[in-house]
Amino acid sequence: MELNLQKPIVFFDLETTGIDIVNDRIIEFSFIKIHTDQSEETWTQRVNPGMPIPPKSTEIHGIKDEDVADKPLFKDVAKKVAAFIEGCDLGGFNSNKFDIPMLAEELARADVDIDLKKVRHIDVQTIFHKMEQRTLEAAYKFYCQKDLTEAHTAEADTRATYEVLKAQLDRYKDVDFKDKAGKISQPVINDIDQLAEFSTQNRNVDFAGRVVYNNDGEEVFNFGKYKYTPVEEVFEKDPGYYSWILNSDFPSYTKRVLTAIKLRKMMQ
> H-helix or E-strand containing 83?
helix 74-85
| Residue predicted with more confidence, 193 or 20 | 20
pLDDT at 144 over 60: yes
Residues 6+ positions from 216 with CB-CB distance below 8 Å: none
**What's the pLDDT at 189?**
65
| Residue predicted with more confidence, 130 or 88 | 88
pLDDT at 215 over 60: yes
Other C-beta atoms lying within 10 Å of the C-beta of residue 141: 16
**What's the pLDDT at 1?**
84
Kindly list the distances between the CA atom of residue 62 and the CA atoms of 29, 53, 120, in Å, as whole numbers in the listed order.
14, 10, 31
pTM value surpassing 0.85: no
**What's the pLDDT at 153?**
87
**What's the pLDDT at 185?**
47
pLDDT at 19 over 60: yes
**What's the pLDDT at 44?**
97
Coil, helix or strand at residue 199: coil
pLDDT at 236 over 60: yes
Q: Nearest-5° angle of CA 129, CA 131, CA 134?
A: 40
pLDDT at 94 over 70: yes
> H-helix or E-strand containing 210?
none
Phi, psi of 29 (to 5 degrees): -135, 155
Least-confidence region, from 195-199, 227-231, 262-266: 195-199
For the stretch 113-132, pLDDT in tens is 888 888 999 999 888 888 87
* Domains present along the chain, CATH in parentheses: 9-198 (3.30.420.10), 211-267 (no CATH)
Percent of the chain with pLDDT over 70: 93
pLDDT at 68 over 80: yes
For the stretch 160-188, pLDDT in tens is 999 999 998 888 877 665 544 455 445 55
| Residue predicted with more confidence, 236 or 202 | 236
